[in-house]
Structure 1
Amino acid sequence: MKKILLLIAIVLILAGCSSKHTPDPNEKIESPEFKSYNGDQLRIGLIGEPPTIKEKNLIKFTSLELNQLDSSKYDAIFIMKEYLEQAAEDKYANVYRSTSIPFFFIQSKKSFIPFITKEISYRDADEFKDQTYATGFLQQNKEEYQSWGYGLYNDTVSEINIKDVYSRIFSTIESIKNGKEK
């Protein structure tokens, strides 16, 4: 009987020490103070609706159609969530691999692989194991490319966390534009 009581006590103690924390809906969660992008003005081609950003005076979005992806008038091109499957069609793979500006696939859970690989459709591509809100791709030369993944703070979808992702993307674009990113 003592062994059963001891076992029950241990189970109750361990259950009370669980690392899972259910947040109180009234509890305010503190976010760090995120840096805004404050570099050069950027010209970004946009497939889809423009995102809500903090840096409205520094970022100029221009709406494009998917058949306009190879434009060199832009510092980068964003492809928004609602166009990802279409943007991963085989006919666009060579564009991503031959253009000298970065592409950012917003809210893609599939990385950049289905966009640059003709043999893999967006639907069939594996999903990221980690939480990534946006992924970027730049073909640097015939043999080398660079990619980026941008996650949300604490994997939490919120307006402030999404705006932070865009600010970090803008900093990456500026680094590429100014030749600092290799």
Structure 2
Amino acid sequence: MRRKIILLFLLISTLAACSMDKNEVKDSPLYEGRDLTIGVVGKIPDVRERNIVFKNIDLNDIRKGNLSSKYDAIFIMKEHLIEAARAPYAKIYKNSGIPFFFIESKKSHVPFIEAEIEYEAFPDTDSGEYASGYYHLSDDTEKSWGYGLYNDTVNEVNILDVFSRIFMTIKTIDQ
């Protein structure tokens, strides 16, 4: 009987802990700012927000330039990270006038903006980042961001939270 009580207590404790973790992230704020138009190289992500317009683009579109008049930001998804880190793009990221976000990159923004660094050779960060962002301002200053998942757990709720935080970052750039 004592064994059953202990097992029941452990089960309830585990369920309560899981429930608290989910509720904390589930209650994370949604982006509620102005409508954003985001160019996406790769598969368009699922998000909670209704005021985000995604447009599929490819890396050739990035090379053509004039992105800031069409998009508030560019997302480069996991399947295109290696190509997007090639040398010709580094200059574009620094001169485009809009932020870039590298989704599911474990290597920060550095291999994307440094032409002489190869993506595969750059070490993974230990920060647990799910996404990183980079924005080169017109006055020769730059900003970068890292977005981790709650408890370093890859699940739908945590990924949706990362995208909401990225949208809030984009909003702060406009201000």
**TM-score, structure 2 normalization:** 0.84
The equivalent residue for 1:124 is: 121
Aligned identity (percent) is 46
Structure 1's consecutive aligned runs of 4 or more residues displaced over 6 angstroms after TM superposition are none
Q: Distance in 2 between matches of 1:142 and 1:40?
A: 25
The equivalent residue for 2:52 is: 59
Q: 2:170 aligns with which of 156, 169, 173?
A: 173
Q: Secondary structure at the match of 1:60?
A: strand
Question: How do residues 134-149 of structure 1 correspond to structure 2 at under 5 angstroms?
Answer: 134-141=131-138, 143-149=140-146
Q: Distance in 2 between matches of 1:52 and 1:120?
A: 31
Deviation of the 1:143 alpha carbon: 3.0
The equivalent residue for 2:15 is: 27
Q: Which amino acid aligns with 1:65?
A: D
Note the residue ranges of structure 1 that are not aligned, 5 or more in a row. 1-22
Q: 1:74 aligns with which of 65, 71, 74?
A: 71
Q: Which amino acid aligns with 1:44?
A: I
Deviation of the 1:52 alpha carbon: 1.1
Q: Distance in 2 between matches of 1:118 and 1:135?
A: 17
**TM-score, structure 1 normalization:** 0.81
- 1:79-100 per-position Cα deviation (integer Å, ceiling 9, x unaligned): 0000000000111111001011
Q: Distance in 2 between matches of 1:175 and 1:47?
A: 23
Aligned residues: 155
Q: Which amino acid aligns with 2:76?
A: I
Q: Distance in 2 between matches of 1:144 and 1:125?
A: 23
Q: 1:87 aligns with which of 84, 87, 91?
A: 84
Q: Which amino acid aligns with 1:150?
A: Y
Q: Which moved more, 1:26-35 or 1:110-119?
A: 26-35
The equivalent residue for 2:37 is: 43
Q: Which amino acid aligns with 2:15?
A: E
Larger Rg: 1
- Structure having the higher helix fraction is 2
Deviation of the 1:142 alpha carbon: 5.6
Q: Distance in 1 between matches of 2:93 and 2:119?
A: 15
Q: Distance in 2 between matches of 1:51 and 1:111?
A: 20
> What is the Cα-based RMSD across aligned positions, in Å?
1.8
The equivalent residue for 2:101 is: 104
Q: Secondary structure at the match of 2:81?
A: helix
Note the residue ranges of structure 2 that are not aligned, 5 or more in a row. 1-10
Q: Secondary structure at the match of 1:27?
A: helix
Deviation of the 1:27 alpha carbon: 3.0
Q: Distance in 1 between matches of 2:138 and 2:30?
A: 31
